[in-house]
Amino acid sequence: MADSIKNYVLGVFEDEDVLLKAITKVRKEGVNIYEVYSPFPVHGIENALGYNRSRLSIAAFLFGMTGTCLALTMMIYMMTIDWPMIIGGKDFLPFPTFIPVTFEMTVLLSAFGMVGTFLVISDLKPWGKAKMFDIRSTDDKHIVAIELEKNKLDKTKISKLLKASGASEVNEKQMD
């Protein structure tokens, strides 16, 4: 268990504008940022961290198409093969009556699929333990976590870089 302990340098920032400038400056120096924790969404932080656009919308589309195909297959089978009921000149395959059920199945499978995909990708599970580097990140501080083992610079240079970038304080922490 002692092998999985990792060392981090934490930069604590008061203001989101200073945080965004610091992220850009730190990344230009070649430092890999593990994660940034913030008490509220910061506009433009994804671009500053170099994150790619999420592919969750593609998963939502695929789950939605699965729901559409499943609904149409189910209703076509029930209405034409399993128990065809042709009453009062009704069409053999009445597609306009399929629209509400098809829409609802599309939305249902898309929503469940996106939630499930998000939980799996984010590694969120009921028995998991959340990484909390600093409790103040849930209240009023922004925390930049930098894993020392994945960076070429040593902790003193990273600490000086964070301080020069506007960090109000720099701490070290070990987490597993």
In this structure, are 37 and 74 located in the same domain? no
Asked if residue 126 belongs to a domain, the reply is no
| Banded model confidence at residue 85, pLDDT cuts 50, 70, 90 | confident
Pair 148, 158: CB distance under 8 Å:
yes
Burial of 140 from C-beta contacts in 10 A (0-12 / 13-18 / 19+):
exposed
Domain extent, residue 171, equals 2-53+133-175
Pair 166, 18: CB distance under 8 Å:
yes
Q: Which residue has the higher pLDDT, 109 or 155?
A: 109
Asked if residue 97 belongs to a domain, the reply is yes
Q: What is the C-alpha to C-alpha distance for residues 27 and 25, in angstroms, rounded to an integer?
A: 6
Q: Which residue, of 101, 121, 141, is where some domain finishes?
A: 121
Residue 26 parent element (H or E): helix 16-28
Of the candidates 75, 141, 136, 80, the residue with the CA atom closest to the CA atom of residue 104: 75
Asked if residue 128 belongs to a domain, the reply is no
Q: For residue 146, list its beta bridge partners.
A: 9
Report pTM: 0.72
Asked if residue 40 belongs to a domain, the reply is yes
In this structure, are 113 and 156 located in the same domain? no
Q: What average pLDDT does the structure give for the chain?
A: 90
The answer on pLDDT for 57 being more than 50 is yes
**3-state percent helix, strand, coil for the chain, nearest multiple of 5:** 50, 15, 35
* Poorest-pLDDT segment among 37-41, 100-104, 172-176: 172-176
Q: What is the C-alpha to C-alpha distance for residues 1 and 128, in angstroms, rounded to an integer?
A: 16
| Banded model confidence at residue 21, pLDDT cuts 50, 70, 90 | very high
Structural domain count, the chain: 2
CATH number of residue 143's parent domain:
3.30.70.1110
Q: What is the C-alpha to C-alpha distance for residues 22 and 39, in angstroms, rounded to an integer?
A: 17
pLDDT of residue 135: 87
Checking phi first, is residue 171 left (phi over 0); if not, alpha (psi -120 to 50) or beta? beta
Asked if residue 90 belongs to a domain, the reply is yes
Amino acid at 160: K
The proportion of the chain whose per-residue pLDDT surpasses 90, expressed as a percent, equals 62
pLDDT of residue 3: 61
**Could you read off the pLDDT of 111-143 as tens digits, one per residue?**
999 999 999 988 888 887 778 888 888 889 999
Compute the average pLDDT of residues 30-57: 92
In this structure, are 63 and 108 located in the same domain? yes
